[in-house]
Amino acid sequence: MNYESNPILDKLPKHLKQYIKPQNYTDYTAVNQAVWRYVMRKNVDYLSQVAHGSYMDGLKKTGISIDNIPNMYGMNRILKDLGWAAVAVDGFIPPAAFMEFQAYNVLVIASDIRQLEHIEYTPAPDIIHEGAGHAPIIANPEYAEYLRRFGEIGCKAVSSAKDFELYEAVRHLSIIKEAKGTDPLEIEKVEKHIEVLQKNMGEPSEMALLRNLHWWTVEYGLIGSLENPKIYGAGLLSSIGESAWCMTDEVIKIPYSIAAAHTAFDITKPQPQLFVTPDFAFLNQVLEDFTNTMALRTGGLQGIQKLIHSKELATIELSTGLQVSGNFEYVIAHEGQPVYFQTVGRSALAFHEKELVGQDTNKHTTGFGSPIGRLKGINIAIEEMSPRDLKAYNIYEGEVISLDFIGDINVSGKIITGTRNLQGQIILITLENCSVTHKGKILFESNLEPYNMVIGEHIVSAYNGPADINSFDLLDHELSKTIANKEDNPDNQITLYYQQIRDFRDGKNTTISRNKVFKKIKERFPQDWLLSVELYELAITNGDADFALNIKNYLEQVKHNQPKLRHLIDNGLSLVDKPSVTTV
């Protein structure tokens, strides 16, 4: 294990732990720390006015400092008192895994930090977005429960094959956009590919719709009244530009409702509209309304068809509580009801999320199929039959039977035994010398190999993932290697200058000549502006008015040469001239 654990993280299953990577705090450079400090000083100064009250309280409760990138191990010592934990991951992880972490009360935090060039916004997950955006709000109990519940529901949502293709493309784009020196043509090519994918997604999957709900609440949510909303979404809380932009009349404010699930978003652009929830409790109400539309609760033919379309490991649960997990290949229907299903590849049977003895993937290596529903001409479902009923219909140990199910499915063979649940319902019948046919076509045939026929009148639930996570080998993720940026090389001179000024501010080395550093910056790094802002702050703090004026005049020149930096520089200077922000 390459990370520091705690009681909450100890409860994570192995397949989630594979996404965790060490934070490697010493890898952060002084440039990274300066970027964090600038964004946090600016955001906290502004957000103290427009963010939900839980944000400022949460900064204190979660131990997040304005001056230093948070150390996740330190955060966890504080978060555990809230019943939560945090782990570092390598950027985007699969949506279902992201959701499942939340279900275990664990925040996933991309430990990388944005480049100085992307200081206002980055499409890649980074520690500013995750740590400064997501973490503080979970100090609010109602919101924390929404986040946990969202994860619990979200990890069961069914995806489509196209969802995964889009996820891979967006992940790739986020990596190359943050990588220094990426050819713009390569970025343009990937962006066009994503645009094509987005236009050809077809009917949105459950996961796509839930992702929309997540975006318009957890990431870009507003709370309160339409006339005077407050910010609680992490994407807004961690973006200098959008936290101000979203408060203008140019951004349409819409009452939050389930309609948000059908409102798409563009991760690369500012949002033209935002949804406003009256309070955090209402978020859970809308989530429950949406969950009622999911196959998780509706089951049936449509539910299993979603699983087939997803081409992912998934589970159906029958009315007896028996669960079948695998990759669903096809279903046979009769009058709108499923009467037979078939998986392909390794499959397993479970009851109440616990694998049935002898029904693991070693038993079912090539797939599993079974009829479901009622027998023809019999008004009572098999699962409702008492032992006396079963004997009357010859469904009894040692009997050779021929069972005709509604939908023209026939099962013939000799009954070996039956398995019951705790309520006494029969959930599995094992036969030998068995054949299963549909309208005379053989679906399964065996002489020596026993056949397991599941019992259940209906499919009551269909969802992503296995019933028992221990039934399958889910360890298939390799940690990606972060593309190193040249500017982040500790031997790079600009990085050393940033470190010297940081040491001066922290009182570690006050013999450094700030004038010499400033002179070198002007000579060798005319594109840089943030270090000059930090030097200006020190000059004002130390009462060196002449030095401060010299820096301010230089920054005016930088603004003239690089107009796009004007508002960033002005914001930095105004924070110094109006010193309202201190460490939290």
**Tokens representing 568?**
């960033």
Give mean pLDDT, residues 272-289: 97
> Regarding predicted confidence, which is higher, 487 or 26?
26
> Regarding predicted confidence, which is higher, 317 or 244?
317
Check whether 270 has a pLDDT greater than 90.
no
Per-residue confidence band for 481, with pLDDT thresholds at 50, 70 and 90: low
CATH ID of 7-288, from 3.10.50.40, 1.10.800.10, 3.40.640.10, 3.40.50.300? 1.10.800.10
Closest CA to 394 of 434, 429, 420, 433: 429
Per-residue confidence band for 179, with pLDDT thresholds at 50, 70 and 90: confident
CB-count burial class (<10 Å; 0-12, 13-18, 19+) for 503: middle
Distance CA(453)–CA(444), nearest Å, equals 11
- Least confident residue range of 1-5, 13-17, 356-360, 393-397: 1-5
Check whether 571 has a pLDDT greater than 60.
yes
Domain positions in the chain: 7-288, 313-471, 490-577
The proportion of the chain whose per-residue pLDDT surpasses 70, expressed as a percent, equals: 95
**Tokens representing 113?**
């930090």
Chain segment 360-372, per-residue pLDDT in tens: 999 999 999 999 9
**Tokens representing 584?**
């939290």
> Regarding predicted confidence, which is higher, 315 or 173?
315
- Least confident residue range of 76-80, 205-209, 422-426, 471-475: 76-80
At residue 3, the pLDDT reads: 63
Per-residue confidence band for 304, with pLDDT thresholds at 50, 70 and 90: very high
Closest CA to 435 of 418, 453, 454, 420: 453
> Regarding predicted confidence, which is higher, 578 or 582?
578
Give mean pLDDT, residues 314-318: 98
- Least confident residue range of 132-141, 349-358, 493-502: 132-141
Per-residue confidence band for 44, with pLDDT thresholds at 50, 70 and 90: confident
Give mean pLDDT, residues 124-139: 83
Check whether 396 has a pLDDT greater than 50.
yes
Per-residue confidence band for 483, with pLDDT thresholds at 50, 70 and 90: very low
Distance CA(435)–CA(413), nearest Å, equals 7
Cα 390 to chain centroid distance, Å, stands at 47
Give mean pLDDT, residues 180-207: 87
Give mean pLDDT, residues 387-398: 93
Distance CA(574)–CA(578), nearest Å, equals 6
- Least confident residue range of 127-131, 182-186, 359-363: 127-131
Give mean pLDDT, residues 209-217: 95
Per-residue confidence band for 448, with pLDDT thresholds at 50, 70 and 90: confident
Strand partners, 420: 426
Average pLDDT, the chain: 90
At residue 295, the pLDDT reads: 98
Per-residue confidence band for 583, with pLDDT thresholds at 50, 70 and 90: very low
DSSP-assigned letters across all residues of 152-191: HHHTTPPP-HHHHHHHHHHHHHHHHHHSTT--HHHHHHHH
Check whether 169 has a pLDDT greater than 90.
no
Distance CA(414)–CA(399), nearest Å, equals 6
The proportion of the chain whose per-residue pLDDT surpasses 90, expressed as a percent, equals: 66
User: Residue 439: CA atoms inside 13 Å, Cβ hemisphere, count?
Assistant: 5
What's the CATH class of domain 313-471? mainly beta
At residue 123, the pLDDT reads: 65
Check whether 479 has a pLDDT greater than 50.
yes
What's the one-letter identity of residue 514?
R
**Tokens representing 495?**
């990085």
Give mean pLDDT, residues 230-241: 88
Helices and strands counted in the chain (H then E): 23, 17
Per-residue confidence band for 257, with pLDDT thresholds at 50, 70 and 90: very high
Check whether 375 has a pLDDT greater than 50.
yes
Chain segment 464-473, per-residue pLDDT in tens: 999 999 999 9
